[in-house]
Amino acid sequence: MTGTFFVLGIDAATWSIVRPNLTRLSSFKKLVEIGESKTITLEEKPVSASVWCSMFSGKLPTEHRHESYVVNGEIVVRDAIKVDFIWDLLHDAGKSVRVLNVPFVVPPYSFNVDFKPVGFGLPTNEKEWTEELVRVTAETKRLIAEGPDLLVSVYTLLDRIQHFHWGEDYVLEWYKRVDDAIGELIFDTGFLDGDNRLIVISDHGFCSFGEAKVQTLPEYTKSGRIKGDHHENALLITVNVDYDIERPQDVFYAIKKYLM
Ligand SMILES: [Zn+2]
């Protein structure tokens, strides 16, 4: 028995919110205490589609060449990206793999799991953010109980919330909700009591709109004014993973080390 390797992705989770609020984010606090935490400073562009693709293919953007959800007015589909993801390789090798809601494409991608993403993977209001949090948490809990070799699960909501509400207390309220969900997944289930392995990771951090090196959205969108944008510093916490993760691509190699 080798246990489950669980990668919990939190799109756009940033240390600049988590670190100063650890007393209010009890699950993050516990993870920081028992695990190893660090910042991944992206050398590649901090765009979600590309970074999630890098993370699970092990390839650089110049190799996978997938940068955005829409190219020439067409939505990019999984088959148009000419890479093998870690779940493809492990599945072919006979491992049990469950992948839920990974936003390298829209709607987010699932593998060996039947899941209908909320709001086409771009939840834009409070009702949809709540729905994503509830449904991804419930499904992830169910998958943890199955005990697959690899489980990947991603929350996308903080990315959207921060774009529209950066600088407001509202952002921290949502971090608390995500923190509660992490508690349900990791601590209430006893996931870390055995020899399971965990990576909690974001694809990029966040900052004020004007401070971002790369502007990922126009300042005014039909959903409202953009107040925050992607920062190159992403969040990483690992528990029981003896592999030096310095770049998104290293997540692929860390999983490979244990499961192939
Ligand atoms: Zn993102």
The tens-digit pLDDT sequence of the chain (260 residues) is 579 999 999 999 999 999 999 999 999 999 999 999 999 999 999 999 999 999 999 999 999 999 999 999 999 999 999 999 999 999 999 999 999 999 999 999 999 999 999 888 788 899 999 999 999 999 999 999 999 999 999 999 999 999 999 999 999 999 999 999 999 999 999 999 999 999 999 999 999 998 888 888 888 888 788 999 999 999 999 999 999 999 999 999 999 999 99
CA distance 184 to 45: 33
Residue 10 Cα to ligand 1 middle (Å): 8
- Given a contact cutoff of 8 angstroms between Cβ atoms, the answer to whether 196 and 224 are in contact is no
Residue 33 Cα to ligand 1 middle (Å): 25
Number of domains the chain is built from: 1
Residue 194 Cα to ligand 1 middle (Å): 31
CA distance 15 to 133: 20
Residue 53 Cα to ligand 1 middle (Å): 11
Residue 121 Cα to ligand 1 middle (Å): 12
What CATH number is associated with residue 81?
A: 3.40.720.10
Residue 48 Cα to ligand 1 middle (Å): 4
Q: pTM for this one?
A: 0.97
Whole domain around residue 210: which residue ranges? Answer: 5-259
Specify the pairing of strand 36-41 against strand 233-239.
Answer: antiparallel
Residue 203 Cα to ligand 1 middle (Å): 5
Q: Which pLDDT does position 1 carry in this prediction?
A: 53
Q: Which pLDDT does position 216 carry in this prediction?
A: 85
CA distance 28 to 25: 6
Residue 204 Cα to ligand 1 middle (Å): 6
Residue 126 Cα to ligand 1 middle (Å): 18
Residue 205 Cα to ligand 1 middle (Å): 8
Residue 133 Cα to ligand 1 middle (Å): 16
Residue 184 Cα to ligand 1 middle (Å): 23
